[in-house]
Homo-oligomer: A and B are copies of this chain.
């Protein structure tokens, strides 16, 4: 570990110029004579100079680093988002500091403050719901914050989402159109706006528009996991009037649902039809392959990061509330039309 303590001053001396000139060369400032530039560049190469980003950050008040807060990076869903963010960040020469919140209010607030302390230039946040304490912190933030796959509430932040209500409507309607007069709905906790207000609303609207009644017990809430999907479906299967069509709030839950059905000796899609949500890699790793609502997590991450760069560069922003298109990817868990 030979340490690297060659500073801009050393380069300046080596090249016979001032620190300021070296700084200009390093930062690509055009006001440098080509011969000088070359002289400096050579000195840099010779000495193996690498600018100290921390000193740079202190002097310029920019760190070219953004903070990313997600509930849990080990979840394929957030991981995909993170990848989208990182790719665009790299493209614009930013790095990301990643933190897991486990959707805990305390961790979210703590993480936010840590990131601000580290002087990140901006933050991308993803979380199930926006606790008001957190919104208060957001309001005090000296740097811009962009929400990714997270609904705004109480404070108008830039955000990137799909239309969850319409997506749920489309999925439910598709099942209804296949002749079902009951559609089961298995999703995450209703306290999360995305379920309680969006998906649920879309589901009910589709029923209504088809003139179907809403049955309370056709909806079961889980915690997004495979196990909770499996369990929910097992419970539903015990009923005589069990719906033969299921819309699951996530792919992982949909996998659980399908396996519960198969374990009970039924066939998908012949006896039961299932539609998932998110179109994670899982969707094609099951038999039958899963029909699912496409929520383009990678794209959401990428667009959110791009939006953040625009804000940071004070570029023109046409719409700070971006709604990306969704669609339903038809696969084998649905019968052919």
Contacts and interface: CB of A to CB of B under 8 A. Distances in A.
A72 B83 contact: yes
A259 B287 contact: yes
Interface stretch (A210-218, A278-286, A320-328): A278-286
A27 interface: no
A293 to B, nearest CB: 19
Given A74-B83, A79-B79, A285-B286, A51 B117 contact: yes
Interface in A58-107: 58, 63, 65, 72-76, 79-80, 82-83, 86-87, 90, 95-100
From A63, A226, A284, A285, residue with most partner B Cβ within 10 Å? A285
Interface in A125-177: 140-144
A86 B4 CA distance: 27
A287 B255 CA distance: 10
Nearest to A62: B54
A288 to B, nearest CB: 11
B86 A100 contact: yes
A142 B80 contact: no
A57 interface: yes
A82 B54 contact: no
A286 B284 contact: no
Nearest to A138: B1
A223 interface: no
A117 B50 contact: yes
A3 B58 CA distance: 16
A252 interface: yes
A113 interface: yes
Interface residues on A, range: 35 or more
B2 A285 contact: no
Contact of A281 (B113, B226, B286): B226
Interface string A172-188: 00000000000000000
A76 B73 contact: no
B97 A95 contact: yes
Contact of A95 (B76, B118, B141): B118
B65 A74 contact: no
Given A73-B82, A262-B287, 19 more contacts: A1-B143, A52-B117, A53-B118, A54-B118, A58-B58, A73-B73, A73-B79, A73-B83, A74-B76, A76-B76, A76-B79, A83-B100, A86-B98, A86-B99, A96-B97, A97-B98, A226-B284, A256-B285, A259-B285
29 contacts: A1-B143, A2-B142, A4-B116, A50-B117, A54-B54, A54-B58, A54-B63, A54-B119, A58-B58, A65-B97, A65-B118, A73-B79, A73-B83, A73-B86, A74-B79, A75-B79, A76-B76, A82-B98, A86-B99, A90-B99, A95-B99, A95-B115, A96-B97, A96-B98, A226-B281, A226-B284, A226-B285, A255-B285, A282-B282
* Closest 3 pairs (CB-CB, A-B): A74-B83, A79-B79, A54-B57
Interface of A: 1-4, 50-55, 57-58, 63, 65, 72-76, 79-80, 82-83, 86-87, 90, 95-100, 113-119, 140-144, 226, 252, 255-256, 259, 262-263, 281-282, 284-287, 298
